[in-house]
Every structure is written in C-alpha cells, then in structure tokens.
Amino acid sequence: MSSNTRVRFAPSPTGYLHIGGARTALFNWLHAKHTGGVLVLRIEDTDRSRNTAEAAQAIYDGLRWLGLDWDEGPEAGGDLGPYFQSERETIYQSYLDRLRAADRVYDDNGSVRFRFTREKVVFDDVICGHIEFDMTSAETNPDMTIRRPDGSWIFHFVNVVDDIEMKISDVIRGEDHLSNTPKHVQLYRALGVPPPRFAHIPLILNRDGSKMSKRDQGASLNTYIEGGYLPEAVRNYLCLLGWSPKDNREKLDLAEVVQLFDLAKVHRKNAAFDLDKCTWLNGEYVRELSDDRFQEMGRQALTKAGIDLGKFLPDYVRAALETCKGKFRIFSELPAYGGFYFKDDFEFNADGVAKHFVPANKPLLLAVREAFAALDTFDAASLEAALKATASGRAIKVGALVHPTRLAVTGSNAGPSLYHLLEVLGKEKVLARLDRALSRFG
C-alpha cells in the first residue's frame, strides 16, 4: 500500500477518553505506521454545551499515555487545519453553498436539509465486506438535516467535509457508524468527490454481550492511568480486541504488531472485553520491567497511596520494592501488598489473628523473638537457619513458626519471601513488631 495513506481519529471532547475510542485511535495509528502514512487528530467540538478544553486535554494526555503520537492536529500543527471543528465555520459554509448551487439542499423550518438521491447505496468495506443500503424510500430514510435552526452543524455533514479537506484516504471507525455510511457516501457523490475506503471495526462488548457504555467497568482510560497499569500492556490488550496475529500469542511487541497489522485481517465479529485478562497481561509486563522503571512506578504507587517515602532511606525503599517484583499485577495493588514496610501501626488480618494468634503460639513466637535477638548477622540465610533451628528444637514443622511470624511483622497472611522481608526490615524493627504482636496475646 502506498504511503499516501491518511487516517484520522476524530473524538468529541465531552469527557475522558473511552476505551473504545482509544482502540479506534490505536487501529488508526497502527494502519498509519504499517503503511508509512499520516495520522490526523481532529477535535469534533461543535457541541459547544458539552465540549471543554479540559476534556480535549484529557484526549491528548490519554493518547500520549498509550504512546500514540499524531502527525497533524492540535499541538502538532499541519497544513490542512484548523483541526478543531469549531474553527472551520467558513469552510462548512462554502460546502453548503456548493450543495445549494447543485440543488441538493433545501430549507425546512429554519433548518437546512440534504436531499438524498433515491437509490441503493453500494460500497465495499475493508472489514465488513460488500454492503448495500436501500435508500429508495423517503419514509424509512427521510432527507437529512445538515444544519440546525440555531446555525449549528450536524455531525454527518461536517465529518464528510473535514475528511475531504484533510484528504483522508481511509476512514477507520466503530461498526456503530456503518449505518451512517450510506448518508456519507451520498454527500461525497453530491460534492463530486470519491469516497474514502471504509473500515468499520467490531464493537467492544461487555462479557454479558451488551455494548460497552461509559459507565461500565474498565470503560474509561483513566481506570488504567490511575489504577497503576502499564501503557504498553493496555495497548497490547487493545490490539487484541478485534485483531490477532493468528498464532495464539497474546504478549506482543509493538514493533511487531505494526509490521503484522492489516485492516483486512481485523475480525468481523464483536470483541469481548475482559478486564481480568487485561490485568493478567499487565502482570506479565510488570514482571519483565527493568529494575529502574519498576522502582520508579513502585515509588509513584506508594506515594499516591499516601505513604511518605521521604521518611525512609533510599536503599531501604529500593530493597523493599525489590522483594515485591513479580508478586502483583497492577501497581495499585502494591500498597496493600508491600505497604507494611512503611508503617508500624498496621492492622493485623482478622482471619490470621483467629488462626495464628492463639495461646498455644505465644511461646513459639517468643522463641522466634529470642532466636532473632541472638543473631549477629541479620540476613536472609541467617534468619532462615535460625527459624529452622527453632522449629527443630521444638520438634515442629517450620510452617508453624513461619505463619505467625509473618502475621506479626507484616499484618498479613501473604506477601514477599519471609526471610528477605525480615532482612529488609532489619533487626530493630522486626523485634519491635514481634513485641507488638506478642502484646496481642495478653
């Protein structure tokens, strides 16, 4: 395919970036990269009552978070702007004048209507195949309003005008726009311009088969930005909503996706959204993060949770985080998993207390404290040897000591490797926490 490919992502700035919009932007971006083409970002802000500069900024920030750059548009420039519909009034008026000169529009109670040609509209969609719409009946397909009585423009008209002016070669959008396409084709023909190639990508559905709405779990890109997901993992997951490399692989490098991506191989059937699968995939990416990036993301997650890392030595924070790597899926889980490193007054897990802080375990925990207090070297190997020797001396399994000890020093029944977390906490802190736990026994 030639590098004359020009695609566009044209969101309305009425709130956060929806996950469906992010997937549409991604597929446009992939197609542009695959063909050596251009991605245009256009802001469809004609609904003045709902559009805000903050919402437009949320779109830019969301796209950049995903790693999707645009070649033309707001904050990038370009020769075919302006890239806000609100600034294109004179362009729309000139196209309306062309339609009026061709007798394809008429006035109706203050609005302007486009006169359809009564015919079957036929076009080939890259994904959906051969499409025919019967527009012969004015009852089922009445002439379309393109300008409201208040002077504002209807989406269908300005959308087509902008695509003509910005020389868009391929229109990639959600399948919910498929039924609008015959109206757009008629506008192109009335303006004497060949329509672009259309590619309508499958809808994203919830697990129950319903269409994903703005209120559904995982619908907002902010869920992922605020929830400690990695952009590369979310982007990878979005690639798989309607497309796959045909070899059942799920973790894919972006450069490889760009190389393999082909609009003709996008699936026809709707894509099922599974937040659990996205979270699992994120965990695979977290496990493979470089140490520096893991540390950076970990610090951000802990700080966001209200933990003041400034109170702790950098080496202590680094060592604490190292014990957590590969043990959680998203960074918002980190404070609950490893937060015990940074506060001494944590709550003890209620189930753990009922199971492990029982009278019979008090002498065991006292023996553990005594063994730890006697250590000159407080490292993982020495701690493990001390715990095993204590268990052996009492003819019990080491697990009988591990579980109450973990609960005593972390407040939890699960977490990082016990001997390593004890080493990180250090002798003074561990003994103080054992004393605090022993006081629970009365």
Give the residue numbers marked as catalytic: 214
Buried b (16+ CB within 10 A) or exposed e, 381-403: ebbbebbeebbeeeeeeeebbbb
Paired tokens of 221: 């890109």
User: What is the 3 state secondary structure string of 327-351?
Assistant: CCCCHHHHHHHHHHHHCCCCCCCHH
Paired tokens of 179: 């039924």
Pairing of strands 105-108, 111-114: antiparallel
Look at residues 438, 426, 411 and name the one whose alpha carbon lies nearest to residue 380.
426
- Consecutive H or E run containing 427: helix 427-439
C-alpha–C-alpha distance, residues 154 and 99, integer Å: 15
Beta bridge partners of 144: 114
On the CB side of 36, CA atoms within 13 Å amount to 4
Q: What is the DSSP letter of 112?
A: E
Place of tokens 């994203």: 204
Q: Region of 242 please: left (phi>0), alpha (psi -120 to 50) or beta.
A: left
C-alpha to C-alpha distances, 272 to 101, 182, 217, 277, nearest whole angstrom: 47, 27, 13, 11
Beta bridge partners of 133: 121
- Consecutive H or E run containing 197: strand 197-201
Cis bond upstream, residue 202 (ω within 30): no
3-state helix, strand, coil in the chain (%, to 5): 50, 10, 40
On the CB side of 317, CA atoms within 13 Å amount to 20
